[in-house]
Structure 1
Amino acid sequence: MNARFLFKSAFLKLAFPLVILALAALAAPERGSAQVLYGSIVGNVKDSTGATVPDAVVSIVQVETKRARQATTNEAGGYTFATIPSGTYILKVSKEGFSPFTENQVPVTINSVTRVDVTLKIGSVSQAVEVTAETALLQTDRSEVRAELTGMELRELPVPVRNYQSMFRMIPGFSVPTNEHSVPSNPSRALRYNVNGTSASSNNVRIDGASSYNIWLPHITAYVPPMEAIETVNVVTNSFDAEQGLAGGSAVNVQIKSGTNDFHGSAFEYHTDNALRARGFFLPTNQVKPKLVYNQFGGSIGGPIKKNKVFFFGDYEGTVDRRLADGRVSVPTLGMRNGDLTASPSRIFDPFTGNPDGSGKTEFTNKVIPSTSIDPIAQKILSFIPLPNLPVSGFVNDYYATGSYLFDRRAGDTKINWNATSKLNIYGRFSMMHFDLHSPLAFGDMGPILGSGGNPGTGWGNTYSYTIAGNYLLTPHMIVDAHFGWTRMDTTSEQPDLDRNIGRDVLGIPGTNGTRRFEGGWPRFQFPNNSFATFGATEGYMPYYRSDPQYQYVANLGWIKGAHNIRLGMDLYRQHLNHTQPEHYTETQPASGGFRFDRGPTTIPGQTDSDYNAFASFLVGAPANRGRILQVPDIYHTRTWSYSFYARDQWQLNRKLTLTYGTRYEYFPYPTRDTRGVERYDFATNKMLVCGIGSVPEDCGVSVSTTMFAPRFGFAYRATDTFVVRGGYGITNDPFNIARSLRANVPVLLPFIQTGPNSRVPVGHLQDGIPQIVVPDFSSGVASIAGNLGLNTTSTDFVRGYIQSWNVTLQKEFWKNLVGSVGYVATRQVKALGLLEQNYGFPGGGKTSQVLWSAFQRDADTQLVAPIGNSHYDSLQATLERRFSNGLQLNASYTWGKGIGIYNVRESTDSPAIKIPAFYTLNRAVFGFDRTHSFNLAGIYELPFGRLKKGGHNGLSNALTSGWQLNWLFSSYTGLPFGVSASGTGLNAPKNSQRADQVKPNVQKLGGIGDTPFYDPTAFAPVTAARFGTAGFNALRGPGLVNLDFGLFRDFRMTERLHMQFRAEVLNFSNTPHFANPRSDVSGSKFMIVDNVVNSGREPSGDERAFRFGLRLGF
């Protein structure tokens, strides 16, 4: 047993009590503030002359549960109630010689501060002053940039796909949330988003305190609660308080509803189908709308188990999705299958002739490949591929496919709150979700995936999450809170025909498939840039079987005294990955084997190429690469810890100014496996080190920083009662879990890839198959590895980057219930993590020019997990909010921003397009998710007539006119950036991406959709020389996006407490298509043609107009 293991065991046993004791010993006087799971009420008490009133008694009572707290004002007249549950409170202030004061309806939400300043009047007890007024919307005591989504907004607005994350588009600084990944990997259908120009991997979502990372895909969340379960969503996007860690883009805290002294509940059903949808803009004219039946149903209930003491809440939501999934793909015509490529704009050459540099090849006469040159295995594969069924020119999108899609999901939450004593409050929550999926393929049991399932075949699994939390009032001025969170995703996804070794036994390709079930099925046959549909296995990472738990231990302590607020705490976080999945980050083929067919083998130097060249390479059986990934153990694991501690002082310098300052300390140890360390590649010796085996230390000699402090500072200046100036600055350490990049490495997985000597020479014949993979002997902990096995590694001195964020914001209350804000919001991501390819080749050099070729004959991907560069984001962000009053609520937001970083890098597992250091600056570009202007407007409007409305009528008229409500979500965005790519054949620089040449000084925007180009295609040209093109990355902008989601609701009041709501919602009310960027391959058959819609997070309603009807019963 090694020393590191002993340290871990001792730490786990002793850390929690030791830290609590340390916090108690170190605590200093403080004024309370918001906590992540709780809220606070603060204020100042003065008399009518403006003098402070010390020693006044202030008490609060939570309306929903009757839980009470009491405090006295300090010498400055200030008071604080920290760490109180969210809800509505009654606040009372009394002092001898003054009239008692009472304010009703004081709202408190999680991670926020509610300020109630009180002016006492001279008088007696009988002259009580009682106020029932809405607390100001101003953010008076916190410096961060924040937003809040209430349960009412989520319930009443026409939210697409009924997912709270859809509403993030209403918050300044957010990119448009998009649907990502397959259903098995993302069964909650969580959305992906970037915030203020930061990595999508640096967002942190917690549900009642429990982190909801999807550990394997950290840019999305593991669990999305049903809408009916959510009380509040608190979102912080800049200048985080020191308590909030592991978040660089946004910290999202989702609060599940709790029970109260009254019973409340709901039952609901929502429905849409294909008859309620418009035709898709790109649906072929000879096809009818495909079937879609989508239902969501369920309910919720909450109330007392024992009044004022124990409360419960529970909810359930079922989702049933039945579709005829459809899609357009590109398949070769009958003539092309027989060798007739006369439609090709480029010349076609025999790849098995000529010189080693690709020159001197024999050209196929009249671009026709004779039958004697057609590979018999290619012919056999084509027999499984249907012929075109659409009347299009050429072959692009010439086949329309359909198949039955089935998706069922069941989700629910339970929560118990217990007011154990007047000092102790405890709650527990348990959430669970189960799903089943069948997703069809375009060609039956193989080919491209149809619909939005994301993975072919079947999938099933469960997600679990729970929190146990509590707070204890040690003294009237000292409180401690702690919670434990646990989340686990179990998921399975299997493609069809796993029980058949099709590559080996049906097609007769040597070296494909294996002896284990997850190595069965079809091999993969790929083409560049999706020029043709993939034949065989679509995905190179299937099947997979995952079980990923995460554990979180959090404790905090505060002490209220004087004008200071010092809050101390810790956050210990552990993540596990337990996978059976033959997948690697480097370029790989599936466990069943695979081949890629490029344009280069059927061209010669100096000649342009086209998609016909790629198909010709397939037809004659001339792959550019071949390979297979071998998973050695049946299951593999990683383990990761992070340790965080913080201290923060909030100092109310005077009645107008609050300062907040503090720091976090974070430590991210090097990840391990379950019984040993991970692996590291030694660039000097071409050997792989297995950490913890033989003489190799468990951390492989890798050092990580032990000085990762993250200072935070902010101020809030209350210039007047209606005007606040705020500002803040903070550093967040990059929270990315590098175990994700290191989880599948040699010798756990052997990603074998073999390529030709350069881009114009094939690796061999298709009939030759794939060579046998040799498993290295790592019994000593060290072994040399083959040059064609890809890997990821770190240096011995691993550097973790950080994110700086700051803002200066002005907020003004214009009149009652209307508040506006405008601010400068910025971030700087320093040493952003990514994957840096170390084995790149140079222009014109081919395989032999790769960095590690001359020493080790190594041509496989060799990627370093390391900083890839810096990025910056600057913006003007503005909001205008009218709280619901007199039947109207409005929320408007606007962002004018720009972010510049490294092209092709959206998250911490991405890699720059150009790897050569001398050309690295060419990667500098605006973010691919950047939108210069973003405007959103949400509204709820109760129509001003009917019962209880001014001018309302009686009888029949009242029955017809009362209870109507309009709701809307309007969005307008400028277009997304894109650049023009080109074939890398002429570049001949392995591992690098090519850009086209821009041959006109200005690129004319033509605005065409469908068959006419969006930009002038003649402004760009292919590059046939061994150099990078001149067209900049992301230098163009695609179509903008304008959308209106609209709802018409009618409430029927059945009894005093029981009401029924009928909902008619229209998503994309104007049926305005949201076009994607045009095709950007300069040699592609549809260059600069827009033939698809953008991913705007609207699955499954689609892009076209869709009606959704619902009934909701509430009490």
Structure 2
Amino acid sequence: MNARFLFKSAFLKLAFPLVILALAALAAPERGSAQVLYGSIVGNVKDSTGATVPDAVVSIVQVETKRARQATTNEAGGYTFATIPSGTYILKVSKEGFSPFTENQVPVTINSVTRVDVTLKIGSVSQAVEVTAETALLQTDRSEVRAELTGMELRELPVPVRNYQSMFRMIPGFSVPTNEHSVPSNPSRALRYNVNGTSASSNNVRIDGASSYNIWLPHITAYVPPMEAIETVNVVTNSFDAEQGLAGGSAVNVQIKSGTNDFHGSAFEYHTDNALRARGFFLPTNQVKPKLVYNQFGGSIGGPIKKNKVFFFGDYEGTVDRRLADGRVSVPTLGMRNGDLTASPSRIFDPFTGNPDGSGKTEFTNKVIPSTSIDPIAQKILSFIPLPNLPVSGFVNDYYATGSYLFDRRAGDTKINWNATSKLNIYGRFSMMHFDLHSPLAFGDMGPILGSGGNPGTGWGNTYSYTIAGNYLLTPHMIVDAHFGWTRMDTNSEQPDLDRNIGRDVLGIPGTNGTRRFEGGWPRFQFPNNSFATFGATEGYMPYYRSDPQYQYVANLGWIKGAHNIRLGMDLYRQHLNHTQPEHYTETQPASGGFRFDRGPTTIPGQTDSDYNAFASFLVGAPANRGRILQVPDIYHTRTWSYSFYARDQWQLNRKLTLTYGTRYEYFPYPTRDTRGVERYDFATNKMLVCGIGSVPEDCGVSVSTTMFAPRFGFAYRATDTFVVRGGYGITNDPFNIARSLRANVPVLLPFIQTGPNSRVPVGHLQDGIPQIVVPDFSSGVASIAGNLGLNTTSTDFVRGYIQSWNVTLQKEFWKNLVGSVGYVATRQVKALGLLEQNYGFPGGGKTSQVLWSAFQRDADTQLVAPIGNSHYDSLQATLERRFSNGLQLNASYTWGKGIGIYNVRESTDSPAIKIPAFYTLNRAVFGFDRTHSFNLAGIYELPFGRLKKGGHNGLSNALTSGWQLNWLFSSYTGLPFGVSASGSGLNAPKNSQRADQVKPNVQKLGGIGDTPFYDPTAFAPVTAARFGTAGFNALRGPGLVNLDFGLFRDFRMTERLHMQFRAEVLNFSNTPHFANPRSDVSGSKFMIVDNVVNSGREPSGDERAFRFGLRLGF
């Protein structure tokens, strides 16, 4: 073990106790910085003539806990209370010769500034002025673009999946949040979203200061707290303050509730089932609605342990999900299994005849494959595949399968707050979630997954998160805060039959399976574009067993100096990946082995092909590729550090203008493994350098930037008491953890893939099996690598990109509680990270044209983690907000925007579709998540009848009319972009994607749904020549989306403090289908047909109308 590892080990051992000692005298927040966990109150004090009042005494008392602070106004009459806990405050101002002033109900939320300007009147102490009024909604002192979701909104609005992230659709600049990934990889069912045209990997979510970053899937979060646990969600989307780092799209801060001097609590249950759901639009008429029983239940309680000193809060939520999972998949008909392919629109050729370029093959007479040419292993596999059970024309979606789906999740949080002294405040929070899953497959123990579990078989695991945080008031003008945060995801998922080596022992295919349990089960037999259901193992990344912790050490100093609010801080952040998972980024087959059957081997050059050609390749045992992935160690690891420091000044230049300016410095060292460095591919020698072994340095000679400064600037100009002009500009360094892309390399994982010499020639016979994988010797630090083993690597000069964001926003208070804003919001992502294929082939050249073939006979994926290009986003964003008063709250938002970037790249683990530099500009396209217009409207309305309402009645009338409430969430979006794809057989350029030809100057929109096309399919044609098609990426737009979620609630007051609420919610009130884009494969049998609904993040309620009933008890 070298000196650097010894130093890191010693640092980790010392860092934890040092931070704990710091907390005892200071205490803590998170990755974006401490003020993020707290709020501020600022203001100016003047007299009735408008003159400033210096040296006035200003005091605040938190209503919930009686915690108090005091300050004096400066020479300009200004005052600031920084780093104060969220809550409601009483503010008092006194000065000799003036009447004392008191304002009650001053709200403070995390990561926000509340302004209270005070005018003192000449008078005596006995002539006190007391005000009980709501503070304006205006954002008067900060320049960022921000939004806030309150606990009331989350509790009272009909949120489709009872997940706070579903409400992000209400915030301008957010894409529609979508459900992503399997339950084991995403047990919290976190949603994925892009913000202001930036990568989905650049969003940063913190829970009470602890990062909720999902290290393995950085575009979603690790933990989603129960709705009952959340006090508020603060969201910043542009022009970040210097203390907010590692966030280029959005910085989201979730605050868990705290206890107060009064006991508060709740108990709840929510239920929906298939009887309360409408029929799905595409559910066959002869099929009943599949079973669904979904329940969420739990409660919360909080209160004092010792009045004014120690407080507690706890919550629990259980989720029970039972379904009859179902799905329609495509299986071959009986005639097809016997070789009868006469229904094929394309010709069928014998792949084991002809010339090396795929020409000259013998055609099967009348498109019938004789029994002597059918592969016996293919016949054996087909014996496990059921026959069609649906009357359809052809074979598409001709089999309907069902199975039992079970998902249980239990989540909870605990939090303790301690006002240790008048200067020291500490809190700690611990959260935990456990889940269990069983997800059925279409063909029993193999085949496609049914339902929404995402992974076949069983899953289980835990997620943990805790924060220890606090702040210490050194002087009335100086405060320090620090924190330690820790989050860990443990996730496990297994497919059926791991204890049987089916490929080797049942099917008799050489080279499949292995000696370890995770290499058991079915091999995979797959087809292009999901034309047929996958036979055998569904996924190439199963099974997996992951344990991914992350650690944060943060400290900050705040100093009020006259009109300046200065903050300094540092943030040390460490991420671990510890995985047993035979998976690689590049094209791979599973650990049990696999084969892919394409159209090309049973066609000839210049001929069109179809899905029948792919099945013919399977039937005769002619795979286009074969392989398996070998994980060498039982567990592999990565380790990543990041170091951040910042300085920021918020300067109240005068009563009307506040300037904020500062910078961050960030350093991202090259990642390592647990006992050595990672690996790097040497393009000059075709060797893998194993960092930290032999003479190879631990960083493999890779340089990373040491000058990553990120300046920020903003202003807020208070033109009048009701009108604010704001603007800001900032740079954020791309926070992506590149260890995610480098975790699975040779010699840790050996992704062996063999392909034919070109797309029209098979790699061999199915009966030949898979050649044995040779484990390279890397004891010298240099490992040989076979040409068919894929890899990811970096250059010796690694470049990390950055995101620029800016805005100019106008905000106006029209009348009491009604505020509108409109602004220009923009981002520029410069040198966005992604995976850039270096071993691409050229049109018509096949394997031998690949860049690394002539020198090393290398045809496997060779991807560089590097900048893939720039993107830009421009938008008009507007909001209109009416705070809850007189029984009504309204929130409206509108975005008119456009983002252009690299096609097929939504996050930092994606790769452009076309890799050849000469054609790279063809990738330039509108973002796939781009929606030109987005409008959302949310409302809460208490009906003006009954007790405590104006004109309320007594007796029976009061009992019938009191407590009714209407709630709604309305959304309207224009459609998503898509393009028309084509088979790459004619292109014959490995690693590149093909586009269709557009053969008509204008593409007519027909608007068909179901059996009729959405666009004119004759406007496009397949490309048989060795060139790229003319149809642009994302040149078309699919169906738009309109949705209304509606709730009718009734409150029953049982005592003065105890109340019960009955909730009836209707999700997708009008039962309007939200259609997905049409099928876009120009050669597909359903080209331009819309036959599915879009992913709009509504799992498990589904797309169709669903009623959800609930009962909530609160006190």
Normalised to the residue count of structure 2, the TM-score between the two structures is 0.99
Q: Deviations over 1:64-96 (max 9, x none)?
A: 000000000000000011100000000000000
**Distance in 2 (alpha carbons) for counterparts of 1:315 and 1:583:** 37
8 Å contact from structure 1 (residues 523, 537) kept in 2: yes
* Greater Cα shift, 1-10 or 860-869: 1-10
Q: Deviations over 1:824-868 (max 9, x none)?
A: 000000000000000000000000000000000000000000000
1:759-908 counterparts in 2 under 5 A? Answer: 759-908=759-908
Following TM superposition, by how much is the alpha carbon of 1:10 offset from its aligned partner in structure 2, in angstroms? 6.0
Using the TM superposition, give the Cα deviation of residue 11 of structure 1 relative to its aligned residue in structure 2, in angstroms. 5.0
Kept in 1: contact 2:914–2:992 (CA 8 A): yes
Give per-residue Cα distances to partners, 1:110-139, cap 9 Å, x unaligned.
000000000000000010000000000000
Counterpart position of 1:574: 574
Shift of 1:29: 22
Shift of 1:394: 1.0
Percent identity reads: 100
Contact 1:332–1:395 at 8 Å: present in 2 too? yes
In the alignment, what sits opposite 1:44? 44
Structure 1: distance between partners of 2:370 and 2:1023: 30
Instruction: Please tell me whether the aligned partners of residues 566 and 647 of structure 1 are also in contact (alpha carbons under 8 angstroms).
Output: yes
CA contact (8 A) 1:30 1:566 kept: no
* Higher mean displacement: 58-67 or 332-341: 332-341
TM-aligned CA deviation for residue 390 of structure 1: 1.1
Change (3 A) 1:14 1:637: closer
Aligned to 1:22: 22
Contact 2:34 2:556 in 1 (8 A): no
- What are the Cα deviations for residues 1033-1078 of structure 1, in whole angstroms up to 9, with x where unaligned? 0000000000000000000000000000000000000000000000
Pair 877,549 (structure 1): closer, same or farther in 2 beyond 3 Å: same
Q: Secondary structure at the match of 1:228?
A: helix
For 1:441 and 1:64, the matched residues in 2 are separated by: 53
Per-residue deviation at 1:572?
A: 0.5
Which deviates further from its counterpart, 517-526 or 32-41? 32-41
Question: Does the 8 A contact of 1:262 with 1:304 survive in 2?
Answer: yes
1:663 maps to what in 2? Answer: 663
**How many Å separate the matches in 1 of 2:1089 and 2:258?**
52
Q: What CA deviation, in whole Å up to 9, does each residue of 1:618-657 have, x standing for no partner?
A: 0111000000000000000000000000000111110000
- Distance in 1 between residues matched to 2:712 and 2:21, nearest whole Å: 25
In the alignment, the residues of structure 2 paired with residue 30 and residue 595 of structure 1 have an alpha-carbon distance, to the nearest angstrom, of: 47
Give the distance between the partners of 1:1103 and 1:616, measured in 2 at CA.
Answer: 37
Shift in alpha-carbon separation, 1:895–1:581, aligned structure 2, 3 A: same
Question: How much is the aligned-residue C-alpha RMSD, in angstroms?
Answer: 2.2
Quote how far apart the aligned CAs of 1:950 are. 1.2
| Secondary structure in structure 1 of the residue aligned to 2:855 | helix
2: CA distance between counterparts of 1:313 and 1:565? 32
* Mapped contact 1:33–1:39 kept (Cα < 8 A): no
- Post-superposition shift, 1:952? 1.3
Tell me, what secondary structure is at the counterpart of 1:331?
coil
CA contact (8 A) 1:349 1:362 kept: yes
User: 2:278 corresponds to which residue?
Assistant: 278
- Per the TM alignment, residue 23 of structure 1 is displaced from its structure 2 partner at its CA by 16
C-alpha contact 1:28 1:559 (8 A) present in aligned 2: no
State the distance in 1 between where 2:1060 and 2:162 align: 19
Cα separation, partners in 2 of 1:155 and 1:28, compared to 1, 3 Å: closer
Q: Structure 1 pair 27/1038, CA: closer, same or farther in 2 (3 Å)?
A: closer
Deviation string for 1:299-328 (max 9, x for gaps)? 000000000000000000000000001111
Residues 31, 624 of structure 1: alpha-carbon distance in 2 compared, 3 angstrom cutoff:
closer
When residues 513 and 81 of structure 1 are mapped into structure 2, their CA distance, relative to the original with a 3 A threshold, is same
1: CA distance between counterparts of 2:661 and 2:19? Answer: 21
The verdict on how the C-alpha distance between 1:15 and 1:664 changes in structure 2, with shifts beyond 3 A counting, is: farther
User: Residue 334 of structure 1: CA displacement?
Assistant: 1.0
Contact 1:32 1:80 in 2 (8 A): no
Contact map agreement 1:996 1:1021 (CA 8 A) in 2: yes
Q: Report deviation, 1:2.
A: 2.7
1:586 aligns with 2:586: yes
Helix, strand or coil for the counterpart of 2:12?
A: helix
Do residues 710 (structure 1) and 704 (structure 2) align?
A: no
- Per the TM alignment, residue 3 of structure 1 is displaced from its structure 2 partner at its CA by 3.4
- Trace 1:344-355 onto structure 2 (pairs within 5 A): 344-355=344-355
Residues 71 and 28 (structure 1 numbering): CA distance in 2 closer, same or farther, change over 3 Å?
Answer: farther
Separation (CA, whole Å) in 1 of partners of 2:267 and 2:22: 48
Asked whether the equivalents of residues 46 and 53 of structure 2 are also in contact (C-alpha less than 8 Å), the reply is yes
Tell me the SS of whatever aligns to 1:919. helix
How many Å separate the matches in 1 of 2:739 and 2:1013? 44
Question: Any conservation in 2 of the 1:623–1:766 contact (CA below 8 Å)?
Answer: yes
Offset at 1:391?
1.3
CA distance in 2, matches of 1:169, 1:143: 22
Secondary structure in 2 aligned to 1:35? helix
Assess if the C-alpha contact under 8 Å between 1:29 and 1:565 holds in 2.
no
| Corresponding residue number in structure 1 for 2:1013 | 1013
Shift of 1:671: 0.3
Rate the CA distance shift 1:16–1:596 in 2: closer, same or farther, 3 A.
Answer: closer
Secondary structure at 1:957 match in 2 = helix
Contact map agreement 1:682 1:689 (CA 8 A) in 2: yes
In 2 relative to 1, CA 552–28 (structure 1 residues): closer, same or farther, beyond 3 Å? closer
Contact preservation (8 Å) 2:28, 2:482: no
Displacement of 1:4 after TM fit? Answer: 2.0
User: CA-to-partner distance for each residue in 1:708-736, whole Å, 9 max, x for gaps?
Assistant: 00000000000000000000000000000
Give, in angstroms, the shift of residue 673 of structure 1. Answer: 0.3
Distance 1:25 1:501, change over 3 A: closer
Equivalent residues of 2:29, 2:482 under 8 A apart? no
Separation of aligned partners in 2, 1:96 and 1:400: 83
Deviation at 1:155, TM superposition (A): 0.2
Distance 1:25 1:186, change over 3 A: closer
Give the 3 Å change call, closer, same or farther, for CA 33–888 of structure 1 in structure 2. Answer: farther
The size of the alignment, in residue pairs, is 1115
Structure 1: distance between partners of 2:292 and 2:535? 27
Q: Is the 8 A contact 1:621 1:765 kept in 2?
A: yes
Q: Which runs of 5+ in 1 are unaligned?
A: none
C-alpha offsets along residues 444-470 of structure 1, whole Å, 9 cap, x if unaligned? 100000111000000000000000001
Taking the aligned partners of 2:28 and 2:532, their CA distance within structure 1 comes to 67
User: In the alignment, which residue of structure 2 is the partner of 1:507?
Assistant: 507
Query: Would the alpha carbon gap of residues 34 and 848 (structure 1) be closer, same or farther in structure 2, given more than 3 Å must change?
Result: closer
Shift in Å, 1:783:
2.2
Asked whether the 8 Å contact 2:913–2:923 carries over to 1, the reply is yes
Deviation of 1:886 (Å): 0.4
CA displacement at 1:1099 relative to structure 2: 0.3
CA spacing shift, 1:162–1:17, aligned 2, 3 Å: closer
Distance in 2 (CA, whole Å) between partners of 1:514 and 1:321 is 35
Q: Are the aligned partners of 1:243 and 1:569 in contact in 2 as well (CA < 8 Å)?
A: yes
CA contact (8 A) 2:29 2:481 kept: no
Q: Distance in 2 between matches of 1:22 and 1:892?
A: 44
Task: Supply the distance in 1 between the matched residues of 2:858 and 2:776 (Cα, whole angstroms).
Answer: 16
1:574 touches 1:639 (CA, 8 Å); kept in 2? yes
1:753-798 deviations in whole A, cap 9, x for unaligned?
A: 0000000000000011000101111111102211000000000000
Distance 1:10 1:1105 in 2: 58
Residues 26, 161 of structure 1: alpha-carbon distance in 2 compared, 3 angstrom cutoff: closer
- Structure 2: which 5+ residue stretches go unaligned? none
Shift of 1:16: 9.2
Q: Note closer, same or farther for the CA distance 1:717–1:21 as it changes in structure 2 (3 Å cut).
A: farther
Please list, as runs of the form range in 1=range in 2, the aligned pairs for 1:473-872 lying within 5 A after superposition: 473-872=473-872
Q: How much has 1:691 moved relative to structure 2?
A: 0.4
Given that 1:43 and 1:80 are in contact with CA atoms closer than 8 Å, whether structure 2 keeps it comes out as yes
Distance 1:608 1:638, change over 3 A: same
Indicate if the aligned counterparts of 2:440 and 2:450 stay in contact, CA closer than 8 A.
Answer: yes
Quick one: distance in 1 between partners of 2:366 and 2:139?
A: 74
CA gap 1:86/1:29 in 2 versus in 1, 3 angstroms: closer
The answer (yes or no) to whether the contact 2:485–2:553 under 8 Å persists in 1 is yes
Deviation at 1:5, TM superposition (A): 2.6
CA shift, 1:561, in A, is 2.0
Assess, with a 3 A threshold, how the Cα gap between structure 1 residues 917 and 17 changes in structure 2: closer, same or farther. same
Cα separation, 2, equivalents of 1:1079 and 1:597: 21
Structure 1 residues 53 and 816: CA distance shift in structure 2, 3 A? same
How much does 1:32 deviate? 17
In structure 2, the CA distance between the partners of 1:268 and 1:704, relative to structure 1 (3 Å rule), is: same
| Offset, 1:980 | 0.1
SS in 1 for 2:34: coil
Structure 1 residue 331: deviation in Å? 0.8
Cα pair distance change 1:31/1:81, threshold 3 Å: farther
Deviations 1:312-371 (A, max 9, x none): 000000000000011111111111111111111111100000000000000111111111
CA distance 1:590–1:29, shift in 2 (3 Å): closer
